[in-house]
Amino acid sequence: MTPETSIIPRHVGIIMDGNGRWAKKRGQPRTSGHREGLETAKRIVAHASDVGISFLSLYAFSTENWRRAEEEVNFLMGLIKTHLRKQYDFYKERGIRVTHSGDLERIPQGVRDEILLAEEDTRSFDGMTVNILVNYGGRDEIVRAASRYLADGGDPHSLDEDALASNLDHPEIPDLDLMIRTGGEIRLSNFLIWQAAYAELFFSDVFWPDWDVDHFDEALKYFEQRQRRFGGIPG
């Protein structure tokens, strides 16, 4: 299915929220919601690639998610690790390049190795870029970008927006055009806060595991109807 839209956002970001509540509603453990959410992610990645999205950022694990129960954290890390390896053929078939945003240092070594391997194995692919955010926080990224600038000998008195942006995790990825959050919450939750400065925001009450291509197309149609002024006044 291709949405009947003429304006396709270049970069879409998704806060994939509601996995735990989806499972609780069905009397299942939270882990089953995360497993189902992974299937949804694959479905949406495929569709986003089909409709011409260039960059898709997925919020998989935030810097705040370490506060969750150890069992859930370990399950999520294991899910990320096994998913990246199992989906290589899927990425190759569609030419999808995988990148990672976030601080790798705290991520368990085995998961970190799989992230780096996925990045290396798909580096030459020229289709859509899927940016997976693991151990990611928007504020943390900005702090790390400033630290990189200073570590490279940058003058703190000369630090400006361009200099900071060039030191973000992936300066080659453009700012967000459309930010989607599922699950009924209406907040950014530290998601790409630098890149989302002028993003259009789409909030859905539907839990992430229940999302399908029609929900994604609804968000694209919403984006098409927005008048993007970037602080200016239309002529």
Looking at the annotation, which residues are catalytic? 17, 65
Smallest CA-to-CA distance from 207 within 27, 16, 68, 60 is with 16
Are 19 and 37 in contact by the 8 Å Cβ rule? The answer is: yes
Strand ranges of the sheet holding 55-62, from the earlier edge strand across to the other edge: 97-101, 129-136, 55-62, 11-15, 178-181, 200-203
DSSP string, 193-232: TTTTTT-EEEE--S-GGG--HHHHHHHHHHHHH----TTS
Residue type, 145: A
Residue 94, SS3? helix
Question: What residues are paired with 55 via a beta bridge?
Answer: 11, 129
CA distance 68 to 16: 16
